[in-house]
Amino acid sequence: MEINNTPQRRAASALLLLAFSSAALLRADDDSRGTKLPEFVVTESRVANDEPAGTLAMPVSALRYEPRVDVQARNFAEAQADVSIRGGVFESTGVRVGAAALSDPQTGHYFFELPVSPELLRAPAVLTGLDNAAGSFNAGTGTVEYAWSPVRTGGRASLAAGEHGFRRESLYGAATRAFHDGRDVLGADFAVAQSKSHGAIPFGDHDFSRANGRLQWRTANAQTDAFVGYQRKFFGWPNLYTPFGFNETENLQTVLAVVNHSWHDAHGNKFAAAAFYRRNKDDYEFNRAVPGASNPFQHTTWLRGVDLAGRVQLAEAAVRYSLDVAHDNLQSTALTFGRFHDRTLSKATLVPEIVTALGDGQLISRAGATFDRSDRDGSAWSPLAGLSWSNPASQGVRLEYSETTQLPSYTALNSNAAAGLFRGNPNLGRSRARNLELGASTEWRGWKLEAAAFRRWDDQLVDWTFRTGVIARTANPVDTVTDGLEALASYRSARVDATLGYAWLHKRSDYGSASIDASFYALNFPEHRATAAVRWRLGGGFELRSDNEYRVQTPNVLRTTGGRHALLSSAGLYYLPPAWRGWEFSAIVDNLWDSDFQEVPAVPASPRQWAVAAAFRW
């Protein structure tokens, strides 16, 4: 019996999760007495398991159980994942790697096609509210931001195997050389990885490979990275994008080249700049048994851009600024309608801030604006303003208002509006998101606690909708009002790392004159979502890692199995032999309870999968 169809099993599993988490936290409290806790860093990982059981690790892997991010996977997250923040849609989430604002001009389904090994990146940060308005590019609700990690001499080789013919091999190596008495460091690293599987269900096979390399020059207050990477992904899945019972496939090839420079000083001044090139080739088959059926879907997109951002400290005031420029173009066998196939987007941001002493802390007042422009859709101004107060005891409160605008992708603009599987709308224009937010943070007995309440108004947000009897999905604009609450608690000790999250969302929508029966994205969100990530160092070289998510999803007529309630978990047991330095052995299980919950409506869930791995670090 499946967990989602059996209330008793749901309750038992929830109690088991609660018992495990409580035991770990109680043990953590005992271990922390008399021990100084490490400083909490907002960009540290909030998930427990770094690698999945079914494929190789990718940047999106670190988001699977992130409390502030909802990853809606097809097959598994590393195959194809829609990443949404605060009840937004997959195309309203932005991505930055260093200073570079990356995306895919064709569709947001490929925003996280990043041919970058996780070893080259720090843990992701999630920008929302005013931070997203000031730091995003063509992203309405949030931005996931990765920073380049410093190169350290060493390496890691790993082999993994599991059920369904799964195997994975990966290799990472890095070397450095110091100059000027160790003050400056030249580094280089590379990473290669591949994975294959017959698939957890019939026609769910995959074949992935990735190679990338980087040169880095690092000084005491600056870092320059030059990166190039290539990734190839083939995977299949029934109902991958359409709810009509066909076995579909994707074949993706992504190239990324980035030069990134960052600098800061002890006075609060900062500067970062990047130039990048990205090419993504996509060959989608609606029916793998009849290649080319219902029109061939072959697309190639190019994205080139430059980005810069900085902060200038001026006594008790400061100015934050940024400029992003990107040019894209598309070649396609199917996206041949619409008004254009290339465009240039730009955004400029200016945010002055003033610091004032208030009580035992300081008040920071920020007010500014962003200016978005496109050579195809005109321009728009967006205001932002905020007040935030904090003190040395790590207590803080903030009140913010911000606006962002966004333009749609080519799949929405250039798909045939009257026929085909995906029906677009060439008249779709700029959407606008307005966000009002109140937040607070504090520390208590070693816990870092954060909470926020917000209301967001999305005007002319692009959604894909379904109508019974119509063999297609259609791009339609929708106005929504989203109310939300978020709470996050994080704890670190010598024995246990724990992160707990909760989010509540309520949404109202207006599709105007459009007739719809279901929404694939805008109305596919959890009304309640709780997460728990625990790393428990058991001693003797053993470590238990558990990621967990419980959600109550809003109803959707397209969801055929799994119901509204889902408990999703990943668990890993790791052994680092004290006598064998550098070795690591692990056993990982994804979808521990074998849930059949459809994260994307009508897309079959990926069943439980396990794998064992051995790795050596030097």
pLDDT tens-place string over residues 14-38: 434 433 443 344 333 433 333 222 2
φ/ψ (deg, to 5) at 135: -110, 0
**Residue 12: is its pLDDT beyond 50?**
no
Residue 473 lies in a domain: yes
193 inside domain: yes
Can you give the pLDDT at residue 151? 98
Average pLDDT rounded to a whole number, residues 245-267: 96
* pLDDT of amino acid 605: 95
pLDDT tens digits along 340-399: 999 999 999 999 999 999 999 999 999 999 999 999 999 999 999 999 999 999 999 999
What's the whole-number average pLDDT of the chain? 92
Distance of alpha carbon 442 from alpha carbon 444, whole angstroms: 7
Domain count, the chain: 1
CA–CA gap between residue 537 and residue 546 (Å, rounded): 12
For 410-445, the pLDDT digits (tens) are 999 999 999 888 999 999 999 999 999 999 999 998
Q: Dihedral of the CA atoms 2, 591, 494, 393 (nearest 10)?
A: -90
Q: Cβ neighbours of residue 290 under 8 Å, at least 6 residues apart?
A: none
On whether residue 268 sits in a domain, the answer given is: no
In a domain, 294, yes or no: no
Residue count of the chain: 618
Long-range pairs, 4-10, Cβ under 8 A, ≥24 = 4/561, 4/562, 4/563, 4/565, 4/566, 4/595, 4/596, 4/597, 5/563, 5/596, 9/593, 10/565, 10/567
* Any domain includes 270: no
Confidence at 44, pLDDT banded by 50, 70, 90 = low
pLDDT at 4 (0 to 100): 42
Neighbours of 598 (CB within 10 A): 24
pTM of the model: 0.92
The residues near 198 (Cβ < 8 Å, ≥ 6 apart) are 164, 165, 166, 205
- pLDDT of 39 higher than 60: no
pLDDT digits (tens, 9 = 90+) for 58-70: 999 999 999 999 9
Q: Which of the four pLDDT bands, split at 50, 70 and 90, describes residue 46? A: confident
Task: Specify the pLDDT at position 525.
Answer: 96
Q: What's 316's domain CATH number?
A: 2.40.170.20
Residue 267 lies in a domain: no
Between 47 and 35, the higher pLDDT residue: 47
Mean pLDDT check: name the lowest of 111-125, 169-183, 221-235, 458-472: 458-472
**Helix, strand, coil: what percent of the chain each, to 5?**
10, 55, 35
Quick check: 339 and 426 in contact, CB under 8 A?
A: yes
pLDDT at 538 over 90: yes
CB 235 within 8 A of CB 205: yes
Range from 12-26, 480-494, 565-579 carrying the lowest mean pLDDT: 12-26
Q: Decide if 269 is inside a domain.
A: no
Domain of 284 in residue numbering reads as 3-199+208-242+249-261+275-289+300-617
Interval 106-120 mean pLDDT: 97
- Tokens 């922390």 appear where? 32
Report the C-alpha gap between 43 and 537 in whole angstroms.
21
Contact 209, 168 (CB under 8 A): no
**pLDDT value, residue 11:** 39
Inside any domain, residue 266: no
Distance of alpha carbon 353 from alpha carbon 387, whole angstroms: 10
Of 79, 80, 76, 66, nearest to 127 by C-alpha is: 66
Distances (CA, A) of 571 to 50, 55, 184, 490, 607: 11, 15, 41, 19, 14
* Residues 452-467, mean pLDDT to the nearest whole number: 96
Q: What are φ and ψ of residue 21, in 5° steps? A: -65, -40
User: Which tens digits make up the pLDDT trace of 326-355?
Assistant: 999 999 999 999 999 999 999 999 999 999
Whether the per-residue pLDDT at 42 is higher than 50: the answer is: no
Nearest Cα neighbor of 516 from 466, 555, 478, 464 is 466
